[in-house]
Every structure is written in structure tokens, then in C-alpha cells.
Structure 1
Amino acid sequence: MTRRPIRLPCSAFETDLSQRSIGMRCFRCYPGFASLVVLTIGVIAAPPLPPALAGIPTDAARHWTADNGNGTYSNPLFYEEFEDPDIIRVGDTYYLAGTTMHMNPAVQLMQSKDLCNWELAGYCMDRLDLGPAFRLEGGNIYGQGIWAPCIRYHNGTFYVFTNVNGVGLQVFRSKSIHGPWERNQLPGRHDLSVLFDDDGKVYIISGNRAPYPIEELAPDLRSFVADAPRRSLPERMGEGHHLYKINGKYYDISAIPGATTDQMVARADSIDGPWTVERMVQGESLGVTIAAPAHATASDRGLTLHQGGMVDTPSGQWWSVIMQDHGSAGRMVALVPITWDNGFPLIGLPGNLRKAPNTWIKPDTGHTQDPKPAFVHNDNFDGGKLNPHWQWNHVPDDAKWSLTEKPGVLRLHSLPANDFYSARNSLCQRPPGPESIMTVELDTSGMVAGDTAGLALLSSPYAWIGVVKTGEGTTLQMYSSPGRERGFARPGAATEPASPPAVSQTAPPQRLWLRVACNFDTDQAVFSWSADGRDFTPLRPPFTMTFQLTTFQGVRPALFHYNTSGRPGGYADFDNYTVEEPRARGIEREIPVGKTITLTSGADGSVLAVDSRNMTLVNVAADAPGADAQNTQFQVIDLGKGRVALKAANGRFVSAAGEAVSMKDLTGETPSDAESFQWVNLMRGDTMLMSLTNHRYLATKPNDPGPVSVSATGPNPARKGGAEFKW
């Protein structure tokens, strides 16, 4: 395959975007020469699966799945955005509802039998058409629209309650999770939750600051009960309420607003109170950094778990599906166990409450299945229906797009717009992490003067690569906005300040391929194009992706077509949209069972070693006298369900008692919980080892050689806490 080198400043990239589609080599030049990156972009060729993944279904190996295939799961539940989750169980099936804001269809619903493998159940509303701004007519609703849905099931009917800012509380009801859904509207309530009580009353709690009003809804859910007693929860909680009645007691859980915050739980014997408040989860980042991981420092607090619902299994276990920010990829959800402690549901495991494991045993739901990806994004536009994971940016003009005018392609007719941000009929998806490569084929033969069509990342700032037709000719351009877009823009307000695009010196062919490669570890995206679908050429240095509160979402790849002449234009045909996930599973999910390894601390480069005199486990500098292979090599013994024992060269096993760690002789015995460690993967090659005795992690003291303990409560986001290892 011919490769075309492109030279860019070295600082443009931090790490390889993809081992398969984009290869980068950094050359430190002789004094006086600038550092360069040689970038070659070529065709994506799926490699054979690693041996550790050979037994996993191909779709699950090529796309992110939380299910590891060995009886465990790893977070995030979906490695793509799913906001403000609420969850219920009906019989043996679990249902999840999430925020969709300005996207259409609206209110996303998922279903699962095992809490780990999910599939799309549908949406509550095909078109969220509640006024001109919802259609990008004279304004917009970026960052508004559907917020924080509450899903419930009562007397054979599914209900979804969700507020639309500036419009009101939407109440959806259906006998089937798949619809059709009936809708009525009530006065608005922020981040609400609804409880159908045993006595027939229906309570609703809402608000983002104390006191939080607790009101009553009429039994038909079409009005509030005007003469109901005035109730409230006066203690400081947060927003994103989830109201429950469990074993005769009332519970409300909500999150203190913000990304690096915690979730609270309040309990009362009566809906009238008094309420007692506890912290449900505290400072749990699961190793997710505030900064892009490539730039994280040891002081990075991480983006913590907050705002989610909880559910029980038929076996009596309790679990929470809870949200966590993930930088420019958006807000995702994690599945974490709940332990009841003194009558309060606390996230975590005994011995390590208010913290959560990133990898743990799958829930006991009574149902087993092979790993299956929740989202497969590819679409060749055959069959007359869009892949259901597509969503339109605002309400589309359904007369201006078609899958039938030319069967087998998506045809977008251009509508008048000043810029991409205000253009109707942009078709979007959520990009999977930690890396994804979106490619689409574009036929421009139907475009006319004033038309712009291509592939974008919707955000603020946003960026796109595409074909621009004017009276003077046709050019291939890449544009990135300054990031001064506004939600709820005033009619006539400029949304895209003038900024020169990068223009290719090569005239684009009538048929071409466009690509954007996103790396969410670096928050960098590379836009490129190809004349043959094989060799891709970038137009400019990488675009920096961000999470922001204008669209209030992570970046969204979008297919678009608009006309700047003030009138409708021609058409553009899109085909063969593909999404590659270079690190969908890979080595970071592999446990080196049967191998002999050395564990190196990410904090200081020290290694774990056997102290032969005291028969303890210590960490020593990699070049210290005690760091010879006899002391630092451990065989990984498979104990099943992602659990391992570590056997030293002297035949002894790493063993925990309380927080102390020793080397134990197990001659004639099998490893017990004291010698068992849950292998926890943090992605990017970082590993933690959780003791089954206290559910804490094997840890060193950074830059302080000495005894190792099982004392760490969780990961340091920058992998510098002493409990994160590489092997």
C-alpha cells in the first residue's frame, strides 16, 4: 500500500491515534532542527484477534462491551455518551432511560437481561417539535430539550417523566417499552423523580437546591394536586433526584451539582420526614482524569461518579447505574455494586464503602449471555431505514432527506443556513471511545453553488471537513470554529465568526471519502480525505475536542449539507458510513494468566519484590540490589472470574491479612480469599489488584521503598498513587 507522508509539528500529537489507520513516528532532530511528526494515513485493516479474545464473539471483540466474557465486567457500561441515567426492573428485564437534549428521536431507552449487555429499546418521541427553536428556526435549543428522565412502571404501564426547559414537564406512557407513547404536559420541574406509593398517591420531588419540594400528582398524571400538604426535603442534597420506597422507608438520592462531586442519599420513615442524609459515593473517579489523560498530573482529582439510579435483582443484590464525565467524549455511565450499611444504600463493597471497583463480578440476575455490543454504528443506508443509533441535530425537515430517491444512499437536500451550527438536517451519532475512526463516502454530483457538505464534529467549538461549491468552482476545505457559539441564540445573531478555513490545493473529485479520527485520551481529532477510500490525507493539524456547556454534550460526528445563498440548494449523497474502534478491547483487557510478570509502579517506577528475610512483599527501586529476577517475578495463577493469585519464584504466594501483605507457603493447599486478587484494568495498560479480604488494592508508598499493603481505596486518576501497575 502506498503511504503519503505528511509533516506536522511534533506538539500536535501526544500518542498514536491508531495502530491500524494512523501511524506516527516522532523524530528528535539534530540541534537547530524542529521536531517533526511523520504522519501516514492508510486503509484500515482489521487485525486478527489476540489469543485472549479468541473465545469472544467477533462483534464484542471489535466493539466496546462492558462484559469481559469471563464472568466479570469493566466500566464504562457504554464507552460512549449516555447522560442522566435512570433504571428500573420489570420482572427479569431492566430498563434504562437517558437524556437526549436537542437530539431527535428524543428520550433514549435501553433494555437488558443481565445489566451488562444492553440493546436499544427505542425512543419516547420521534420528533421533539415543541416550537420554532426546536427546528433551528430563529434560534436553537442547544444544551436544552430533554433533561434527566425518570422511568417508572406501574399497573402494567411504563411511564417516563422528563422536563423540557422553558416548555414544561413531559409525561409519556405506554403499555410497551417499544411504544407507541402517549404524551401530556405539565408545568416544568427540574431534575424530577416520581414515586407511585402503596396507598395510591403519586409523589414528585424536584429542584437543585434545598428545600426540595415534594408534591403530589393526580392519579391520571395530568395535573398536580393543588390542595396536597406542603412537603419538602430540607437537607442539602443536590439535583438529579431518584425517589424510592424500599421496605417501608423512603429514599431520595441526588448529586451535588458539578463534575467532581459526590452523590447523596436521604432516608425517612415517612414522606413527610424527618430526613437523614448520608454520602452515598465519595470521590470515586474510576481512574478517569479531569485533564485529557495524556496531560494528567498527580494532583488530578479525577471526574467522579454522580447522578444515577439504583435497582435490585431477583437474587436480592442492589446495583447503581451512575453517570461520570469523560472529557470530550461526553458523560458516560458506570455499573457499580451497592452495599446496605445501617439502612443506607452505599456504593461500594464491604471494607471499602463509597468507592467502586472498575472491574467486578457480573450481577446475579439469573440470566447469562455472551458479550454483545450495545451499539454498532456502521450504516450503508440500505434497506430503507436508518441505523436507529442515528439522531438528528434538532428537528429535521423530513421532506429534505431520503433513503429512497436513490436507494442505498442517504440523500441530504441542502437548506439555507449561515453555517454548520445553524444548519438543519445534520445527522449525528455518539463516537465510541477510547478511540474511534469515522469514515463516510460522499458523492457531490448533485451539489450547486452555495452548498457545503461533509463530515463534522458537532460541539463548541466545532469542526468539519467537506466540499464547498461556489460560482467560482469547487474546493475541499476544513473549518474549525472559535467556540463562541451560543445556545438559545437570538434571531439573526451571528453564530460563526469569520475564520479562514484550510483549503486543499487539490481539486476534490466528484466522489470522495471523508474521515475523522478521534482520540479521547488526548482530546485530539484528525480530519482527512481520500480520493480512493484507501490513502487519506489530513488538511490541517489536529483539532482539539472539548466538553462544554453550550451543547452540554460530548462531540458528535455529523453528516451535513447546507446552502449559504439564503435558499435551498442541491443534494449530496452519503454512503458506507463506518466506525472503527482501534482499542475496543485489546491488550488492556487481557489478564496474563500463566505468564511470569514483573509489576512496576506507575508512581515511581519501583517494582514489587519478595523480601526473603521477612517473607513480606515490598517495593524496591528497579536498579536496587533486591530487584533481581528471582525476587521480582511472579507467576499469574488463574482462579476464575478474573481473579488471580501471584506465585513468587520461591513458591510462596502473595497473601493479605488486614492491610498487611506477606509471602505464604501454600504447600498442599489451594489459594483462599487471602491469596485471591481481582484483576482490575484501568485501560491504557494500567492494572490494579483488589484483595478479596477487604476489597482494597495492593499499594506502595510512592518514592518510599518498603512494605506493600492492601490499603488503597481506589485509583489515582493520573496513575501516580502507588496502586496502579504496569506489567
Structure 2
Amino acid sequence: MKQPLAVRIALALGAAALLLAALPALAWQADNGDGTYTNPPLYADYPDPDVIRVGEDFYFATTTFANSPGLRILHSRDLVNWRIAGHVLPRLDGGPAFDLTGGNVYRRGVFAPSLRFQGGEFIVAFTVVGQNTRLCRAAQVAGPWRCHALDRAAFDPALFFDTDGRAYIATAIGSDGTVTLLSLSADLTRVTEARRIHHIPGAEGSKLVRRGDWIYMFNAVPRRLAMTISRARALTGPWETIHAIDSATSGGHQGAIVDLADGRWWGFVMQDKPAIGRVTNFSPIFWRDDWPVWGTPEAPNRVPAVARKPVQGQPPQQPATSDEFDAPALGLQWAWNHNPDDTRWSLSERPGFLRLKATRATGFWTARNTLTQKGQGPYSRADVRLDLAGLAAGDRCGLGTLGKVNAGIAAVRGEDGGLRLERHTIIDNGDRLAATVQPGPDVPLAAGTVTLRLEMDFTRERGRLSWLDGGTARPLGDEFELVYDWRTGTFQGPQVALFCFNTAAAGNGGHVDVDWFRFADRRADD
């Protein structure tokens, strides 16, 4: 007999609730669901932001250092809910170190991109450390991008198109603070003039924005973790400069402003956090005597913790995290620690699994094909299911972190063919690596599989590694520090890392098959 409508609705709602409860949790949700949001919209290491609007869409370009693919761009309709739209550089070039051969480029690579939209194209300027500045263009942020290099390096380039269509780059480095304006040819391929236009002691991270008759220049002053705002009627000056906000008391030290479709303006600014890295906050601004002021008239000169969403009506959204590895390509949330060796990984050799083939390395820090994604605050829990049948003697394959403190739990195949778990902790102190290894118990294998867990609690600045014995998490080793340090490590907050390497001098390594990676933003017992 057909059930009454009310019963059918109740059953459907119950089934939907159970389905939602079974789905993997997503990353930090800044959208509060009541028309407000909580900073930061992206509770992860998204440094050196540049944000533009094209129609009703917003785009966010960010530094990616040595990670490959490089130069990530995100998309939003409201500055609060973001998804990853693509990357500009499929691979980084410039020498064998980008392939982790004969050295590494941790803390180097792609810095401080400047994104603009002009003539129906997205155009991004950026400088790879040690190389000349490049400009890349694409009709869509997902690419393909075509790139060319200028004849010089512009530190933290600020790309700017004036109302007459002419293109410029402003550049300054914190060791000096002199702002130089580079005039570009009409096809953007050449610097036609270089002229000093301003000086702010310690300034870098320039951004240029026009509003009416005024041109505004935003600069970070890293030594003070502060931001200045300058304005002039012409690019060549004269400029007047004021202190804006800072990371310690008011919410950030590098950023700028972006206009909304209705004529309002919003601010974005980067803030250093001791464990997770550099996060980007968004703030309403108001205008006082033609100066932008972060915050509201009731609470000026600071980024609010909670504010009204600048654009109402958009649904909650976050960058992807979990992955079942069923698609023919890696999800956009993933990046390799350096350029990968594409012969040593596959999504097709065993459909439904990511196969990581062991690479030769002296240890975790020098191993290629470590697959990463950003740690998420305030808490991250990552579980990964591994099939270990393909491991060869000496292979070390597992889950951990990549950053200043590199902690990992690996399944290891011994010379006798047996399997065991091993915990490593490697700390980069700049001039040396401090490494410890803690042997673990024999793996109680059932069909050659194991589930590993990484927990990162950024409120406590501590991480923990475990293996799952049935439904029980068995910690391996002590908790470890979660640290962000721009001078050592990777210049990034702790990243989740999937790795597979072998330190043997000769012979062929085996492989590990990753069945799934599942992320949650709360503890298993919550």
C-alpha cells in the first residue's frame, strides 16, 4: 500500500540525513549560513594574495613555492566560498633542482603572483626565484596558459593596466624599499622604461589599484608585519603614504582592495599564523577622505572576526580535500613537492587507486613524488587506506607532513619479506636536517592493507600519527610540533604528504596502491 505523503517525506529526509552524515567532512566552513562569515575564509596557507573581479566572479592567485603544478588560482562568487579553479604552470623549469636532482628548491620557486584581466584575457605576472619575471595569458583561468619572460627580475611584481590600456609593473624589495615602475610594451614582451617613483623603508609586495582619479599602492613591510597605503594622481607621483594595518593588532600585512559589482570595495590581507602559515583575511572597507579604511566606521582599522558576506545568496563551498582516486586525473587540491617523475606514479595501472612507485632517495626530504595538499585549520584529520602488496625490500611508503617538521608513518618491507611500521621525524634547521626514526610494531595485515591517520591540531600546534587497528587508532611515536617558519622548511605551513621512496643504492623499488584519502575537520570521537 502506498505510504502517506508525510511518511514518505519523513523517510526521505531521514535517508538524506544519514547520507550527509556518512559523507566525508569538508574543510573549515567560514560561511555561517546566516548571511555572515568568519575569518579566514580559507583556513590554510594561501599566502601573497592577489584578488580581482571579472563580472560577478572573483579570482584569487597565490604563491606555491616549489610545489608542482605551480601558481594556484581559486574562484568565488562572494569572496567567502572558494574552490580551486586551476594552476598556471603544469611544471616548474629552470634547472635540475626543480626535479629534486642535485639539490632542491624548497622555499624558492613561484612567489607573489599579480593577476589582472585585460582585453578579454587573464594575465598574471610572477617571478620564480633566481629567474626573470614572466607574464602568462589565458582566456580561462583553467588554462591553457601561454607564457613569456621579460629581460629582468621584478621582485613581487604588481601588474597594472591604466585607463588608457598601457601596462606597468611596480616592484620593490624589502631590503631596500625603493619602488620602481617598469613600463611595458603594448604586447607586454619588453620593458621600455624603468623609473623610481617612491621609497618606503622595508617595502615589498606591491599592489596597484585605480579608483576614480586616485591610484593606490599597497605595500607590505615584512620587518614590521605591517601594510602601508600610498596614493597619487599619477603613477610617477608625487605619492603620499600612510600606515594601514598590521598582523599583530589589526589583521594583516600584505594585500589590497577589490571592487564589487555594485560599486562597493572590499579588502584582503595576509596574516602570519605561528603553526598553519600565512592565511588571507577578507574585510569590509569604508572610505575616509579618499583613503580606504579596513573594518567599519564603528570598528575602524582592523579586520573583523565576523562580518556580513559581501555578496549574499551564494551557497557554502570549500576547496576539495578527500579523494577516492576514481577520476582519470588528480584532484586540483593535490600538488607534488617538486616536479614529479611521471613514470613513477599512475591512476590507470590499477583503476580506482593511486599507484606510487618508490623513488630512489637518501630520505624523505630528498624523495621525489611526494604528493601534498594543504593542512586545514583549526583541525585536520586525514585517513589513508594503503594496499601494501607491491612493496619491495627497503620501500618506505606512507603518510605524514611536509614542512619544517616532517613527521611520517611508513610501511616498510624488510629483507625477510615481512612488513613493519616505522615513524620518522625530520626537522629542517636550515644548515642541517635533524632526523630520528622510531621502529613500530609488526603490521597485523589483513589482505595486505593498512589504514594510517594524520591529525593536525593547529589550536594546540601539535600533530599525531597513528595506524588503525580495526576501529581503534594506535599512535606511533610522540606528538610532534606543527611549525611555520619562513627561514627553514618549505616556507609553507604543514602540508599533508603521501610518500613512497627507497634508500637502497641499486635495484628496482616496488609500489604502494592508495585506495582512498579521506579528510575530516573534527576528531573521530566528536
Spell out the pairing of 1:244-643 with structure 2 (5 A cutoff).
244-258=209-223, 261-282=225-246, 285=249, 304-363=251-310, 365=311, 368-372=313-317, 374-472=318-416, 473-484=418-429, 496-497=433-434, 499=436, 501-509=437-445, 510-532=448-470, 534-549=471-486, 550=488, 551-567=490-506, 568-582=508-522
Amino acid at match of 1:435: Y
Amino acid at match of 2:335: Q
The residue that corresponds to 2:11 in the other structure is none
Distance 1:423 1:469, change over 3 A: same
**2-structure distance, mates of 1:508, 1:396:** 32
**1-structure distance, mates of 2:265, 2:523:** 31
The residue that corresponds to 2:6 in the other structure is none
TM-score, normalised to structure 2, is: 0.90
SS in 2 for 1:103: coil
Q: CA deviation at 1:119?
A: 1.6
SS in 2 for 1:89: strand
SS in 2 for 1:119: strand
Deviation per CA, 1:318-354, whole angstroms, max 9, x where unpaired? 1112111222212111111111111111212114321
Amino acid at match of 2:504: S
**2-structure distance, mates of 1:527, 1:539:** 6
Spell out the pairing of 1:52-131 with structure 2 (5 A cutoff).
62-131=26-95
Spell out the pairing of 1:216-255 with structure 2 (5 A cutoff).
216-225=183-192, 228=193, 230-236=195-201, 238-255=203-220
**2-structure distance, mates of 1:312, 1:72:** 19
Deviation per CA, 1:626-650, whole angstroms, max 9, x where unpaired? xxxxxxxxxxxxxxxxxxxxxxxxx
**Aligned CA-pair RMSD:** 2.1
Deviation per CA, 1:100-137, whole angstroms, max 9, x where unpaired? 11111111111111111122211111111332010000
Amino acid at match of 2:473: F
The residue that corresponds to 1:144 in the other structure is 108
- Find out whether 1:185 has 2:185 as its counterpart: no
**Contact 1:284–1:356 (CA<8 Å) still a contact in 2?**
no
Amino acid at match of 2:100: L
SS in 2 for 1:553: coil
SS in 2 for 1:104: coil
Q: Which has the higher contact order (CA 8 A, sep 6+)?
A: 2
Distance 1:542 1:320, change over 3 A: same
**2-structure distance, mates of 1:71, 1:461:** 38
SS in 2 for 1:456: strand
The residue that corresponds to 2:13 in the other structure is none
Which has the larger strand fraction? 2
Percent of paired sites with the same residue: 35
Distance 1:583 1:355, change over 3 A: farther
**2-structure distance, mates of 1:235, 1:173:** 31
Q: CA deviation at 1:230?
A: 2.5
Distance 1:271 1:394, change over 3 A: same
**Contact 1:529–1:536 (CA<8 Å) still a contact in 2?**
yes
**Contact 1:134–1:395 (CA<8 Å) still a contact in 2?**
yes
**2-structure distance, mates of 1:378, 1:282:** 35
Distance 1:507 1:284, change over 3 A: closer
Q: CA deviation at 1:540?
A: 1.3
**Contact 1:244–1:251 (CA<8 Å) still a contact in 2?**
yes
**Contact 1:237–1:264 (CA<8 Å) still a contact in 2?**
no
**Contact 2:178–2:203 (CA<8 Å) still a contact in 1?**
no
**2-structure distance, mates of 1:238, 1:316:** 29
**1-structure distance, mates of 2:354, 2:247:** 45
SS in 1 for 2:284: strand
Task: List alignment gaps of at least 5 residues for structure 2.
Answer: 1-16
Q: CA deviation at 1:183?
A: 0.8
Larger radius of gyration: 1
Amino acid at match of 2:359: L
Q: CA deviation at 1:308?
A: 1.2
Task: List alignment gaps of at least 5 residues for structure 1.
Answer: 1-53, 287-303, 487-494, 587-727
**2-structure distance, mates of 1:531, 1:407:** 26
Distance 1:498 1:191, change over 3 A: closer
Worse-matched range after superposition: 102-111 or 351-360: 351-360
The residue that corresponds to 2:9 in the other structure is none
Q: CA deviation at 1:162?
A: 0.8
Deviation per CA, 1:608-663, whole angstroms, max 9, x where unpaired? xxxxxxxxxxxxxxxxxxxxxxxxxxxxxxxxxxxxxxxxxxxxxxxxxxxxxxxx
Distance 1:431 1:482, change over 3 A: closer
**1-structure distance, mates of 2:348, 2:24:** 32
Amino acid at match of 1:156: G
Q: CA deviation at 1:496?
A: 4.4
SS in 2 for 1:251: strand
Q: CA deviation at 1:306?
A: 1.3
Q: CA deviation at 1:199?
A: 2.8
Q: CA deviation at 1:229?
A: 6.2
Spell out the pairing of 1:15-34 with structure 2 (5 A cutoff).
none
Equivalences, count: 497
SS in 2 for 1:83: coil
**Contact 1:434–1:583 (CA<8 Å) still a contact in 2?**
no
SS in 2 for 1:453: strand
Amino acid at match of 2:482: M
Deviation per CA, 1:137-192, whole angstroms, max 9, x where unpaired? 00111011110100001111110111100122121101122211001112211111
Distance 1:183 1:283, change over 3 A: closer
SS in 2 for 1:84: coil
**2-structure distance, mates of 1:141, 1:195:** 29
SS in 2 for 1:191: coil
Distance 1:98 1:212, change over 3 A: same
Deviation per CA, 1:53-94, whole angstroms, max 9, x where unpaired? x9xx98898542221110111101111121111011111111
